[in-house]
Chains A and B, each alone.
Chain A
């Protein structure tokens, strides 16, 4: 029996992402990933002032807005040789860390947990037992029977009202759900705690970036000033607020998120052998401690791992035109030099060439072009990007914080290091990263306070702010790490305006179609071998796709071997 399952996610801007998987004897045999909505931010930016680009790119994605602004500012600074003051790096790092901690926690509870947690099962839980289990996991103060009983009652009313809302699309009762009702109750209760807590951590963006959503960035530094006495500046009161937000974040991550992750993972250790996919990992790295140009100073290191060989980390250079190239053999674009060639983003072209069927359609023609995503390659290799790639590169480079935490998780789950190369490993790596980043955030804050106390309050350089001082032509790359993976913007400036602007986003690395040689990217590769117990309820496929944290909502369609659609489920 051979069936094709199609997952068709939707997002506000990256657009529909559709995955077709061929299922045979209960296992995914092949998969195709397609971005089905056109992008074209490059066309919007051409001819604009490079200093304004961040404000446009920030709205490309509703989820990781700040990182696009950061990549954009850095690309311009790189092109013009601007080095931002230390305080600007510290503020950028703080905003980066706040984004990570919020995004990773929200991903776990609000997108990914429901792949593992049966919401309906928690109605059967005993709140007293749940409280005992929770107290054995962590000292989180809300772990008392009264709180769990109240949450259970509220959810019961909600479910009984017939409006499952955000829980409407789960495959409740599916045999792939293995948690006892009490653990399900703990997880759902913490889902609600996370919803409340995340409102606080994002205030760091409003404090330093002036507003939320879409906080302000600035080429040459950050748009905030420090004056401990001044009402309108970042003063002592605001800094104290940031300190307490960071403290609360560390508490939440260590007393709620990580214990839950480990407790849930303990019931799903079989997923440490599923969903591994590609064997190559790429991280651009971030969190500079001695300036963005000194990549060796990044707390999240830059590098590439090939063939899962953790004994060797390869150097990565975003400007070397032989390293990163984008292919379009299976993408709806055309290149001047022919569709079989690969182009470095500095020479990137964004010429649309839609050859697919008129939507809605039942099945993609995967032999030809089938996606709006281009296919990026590093030295011709397909690469996985994201928390797992970052943690593996940091681990392989000997980062002691990461090594210690990763080692602790492996020991606690009693699994070997190879367990990391999996769906479960990806999800665990995100938790480890959140914990380490939360502590680094505290370190950056302490450094910032020390600078201010020493009278160093500079947050911006005027160097090359004035376009009159710019060269006639310049090009630069701004590299960073979105929560979901390596992100870079390439800019060419000509006569003081943007001549070419190319983004290669994490979803492009992970969700792209096959390349010219037929090599699969991360999603297509990771799905192969994923079990599907019930083709009408492919929760297993969602587990692997969600482990990458796509900034996407999704819909699942099912096809029989002849391409006839037999089943469709919408997901949010």
Chain B
């Protein structure tokens, strides 16, 4: 596989309703072919498996849910500087995104150029594969925003 210039990585658990919205956003993007140099990745609940694709990309657009208290569906763009800028794990990965970022430092690499898109959700989430009405609207809008604002072409 050729190295992607930009990696759009959606993470979350699609069995936990809105918690999986990051994956839903990437799936919406995948409905059209990716622009040249762009890779879409459904990161699901993968953890250390994501280290290599993250290391290989020049720039990462990360999409995840956050329980930050804002109205469900609120989209925010964050340029994270510290691990603490990331949404606190809603239900922690075994080895979370913060640990993956720490791994960059520990392996002596510069942290990647990264933009984080968060979609606010309410907690707790039920076991369902469906998004709530607010997030079902917000997910394709987030995909459209990422396509227009972050990706070439």
Contacts and interface: CB of A to CB of B under 8 A. Distances in A.
Contacts of A43: 127
B89 interface: yes
B99 A166 contact: yes
B92 A12 contact: yes
B115 interface: no
| A interface bracket (residues with beta carbon within 8 Å of B) | 35 or more
A236 interface: no
Interface string B101-133: 011011110000000000000000011110000
A12 B127 contact: no
| B interface bracket (residues with beta carbon within 8 Å of A) | 35 or more
B46 A213 contact: yes
B94 to A, nearest CB: 5
Interface in B35-94: 42-52, 55, 82-83, 89, 91-94
A165 B45 contact: no
Contacts of A154: 106, 108
Nearest to A9: B92
Given A13-B45, A195-B106, A44 B83 contact: no
A211 to B, nearest CB: 8
Contacts of A56: 15, 129
Nearest to B94: A63
Given A41-B127, A154-B106, A572 B49 contact: no
A199 B15 contact: no
Contacts of B49: 202, 205, 212-213
Contacts of A63: 47, 94
A15 B91 contact: yes
Given A56-B129, A213-B43, A13 B52 contact: no
B16 interface: yes
B55 to A, nearest CB: 8
Contacts of A38: 127
Contact of A572 (B82, B96, B127): B96
Nearest to B47: A62
A553 B127 CA distance: 20
Given A13-B91, A214-B46, A165 B14 contact: no
A2 B13 CA distance: 40
A464 interface: no
B105 A553 contact: no
A497 to B, nearest CB: 16
B27 interface: no
Nearest to A212: B49
A498 to B, nearest CB: 14
Interface string A184-207: 000000001001101100100100
A188 to B, nearest CB: 9
Nearest to B50: A213
A360 to B, nearest CB: 13
A469 interface: no
Contacts of A572: 92, 95-96, 98-99
B96 A13 contact: no
Contacts of A111: 94
Contacts of A553: 89, 92-94, 96
Contacts of B55: 199
B99 A165 contact: yes
A212 B13 CA distance: 15
Contacts of B108: 154
A106 B14 CA distance: 25
Contact of B42 (A41, A106, A214): A214
Given A13-B13, A192-B107, A213 B45 contact: yes
Nearest to A193: B107
Nearest to A102: B48
Contact of A13 (B16, B105, B107): B16
Interface in A99-144: 106, 110-111
A13 B15 contact: yes
A303 to B, nearest CB: 29
A157 B42 CA distance: 34
A329 to B, nearest CB: 23
Contacts of B98: 165-166, 572
A40 interface: yes
Contacts of B129: 44, 56
Interface in A36-50: 37-41, 43-44
Contacts of B96: 553, 572
Most A Cβ at <10 Å: residue of B42, B95, B107? B95
6 contacts: A44-B128, A56-B129, A65-B46, A111-B94, A192-B106, A199-B51
Given A41-B127, A65-B45, A552-B94, 5 more contacts: A11-B91, A12-B91, A13-B45, A13-B91, A198-B51
Interface of B: 13-16, 42-52, 55, 82-83, 89, 91-96, 98-99, 102-103, 105-108, 126-129
